[in-house]
Amino acid sequence: LPETLLFQLLGLSIATLSTVTHYGLRFTLISNVSLDSNAYRVIHHTAFYFGICLSMTLILAALLSSAATVRESQCLTAMGFFCFALAFCGLIPAACWRYTHSTEVEDSMMDVYDFVYEEVRRNTSSSRRHELTAIHEAFLCCGKHSPFGDTTNVENKTCPPSQVHDEGQDCLQEIQHFLKKHMDFVFSLLGIAIGFTVYGMILTSFLWFSIHFSGNLYRKGKYILR
């Protein structure tokens, strides 16, 4: 069925996005250097597991709906409806969280960069210097604007040569810009998933009633002579 393929593609898209977000170089760099007191690491892992569970639920719902159509099974149809409803109940809180905490991910990620940068600025021989260099190379940025005016030494030791000579992009702005685009894409995919799960619940409900009433119609007109 075309609907089944659409739901499976949606599930695979969510799984792919979750995997890219979790194992992407920029995300893993920030996650590895973040402190336990910072919320980013918790958000990073929670988003991955939520995305994988959601994708599996949608794919399972699509398979159950397809099998229910072929076998005309009310039980499989009810199970498909339950999977769609479960996905819907997970998507609504996720979308609400994104709406009410619109900048929490960006702020927590920039806080991690701020912490590493200040550690290097206070002590340039710190092991944090390698972490800061990796972040600069991953985001193609160089340092941040500071009111102290004493950050040139940090940029010279941690930024890629091309970024130093060309006065590279401020890292806080680059992180914010990158995450804003990524989170807008995530929010759009959440909206599409919510629409499809509502459609899936309506479709499975209609299928359940169709199977139920068609079963009753088969029994009409059949009499037993005694």
- Tens digit of each residue's pLDDT (9 = 90 or more) over 198-224: 999 999 999 888 887 775 545 444 545
Residue of 218, 225, 214, 221 whose CA lies nearest to 69:
214
Residue 172 structure tokens:
């806080």
For the segment 109-113, the average pLDDT, to the nearest whole number, is: 92
- Tens digit of each residue's pLDDT (9 = 90 or more) over 147-196: 555 556 777 778 877 665 555 578 899 999 999 999 989 999 999 999 99
Burial class (CB in 10 A: 0-12, 13-18, 19+), 62: buried
**Domain-wise residue ranges, the chain:** 1-115+184-225
CA distance 15 to 54: 8
pTM (2 d.p.): 0.82
Residue 220 structure tokens:
């009409």
CA distance 88 to 81: 10
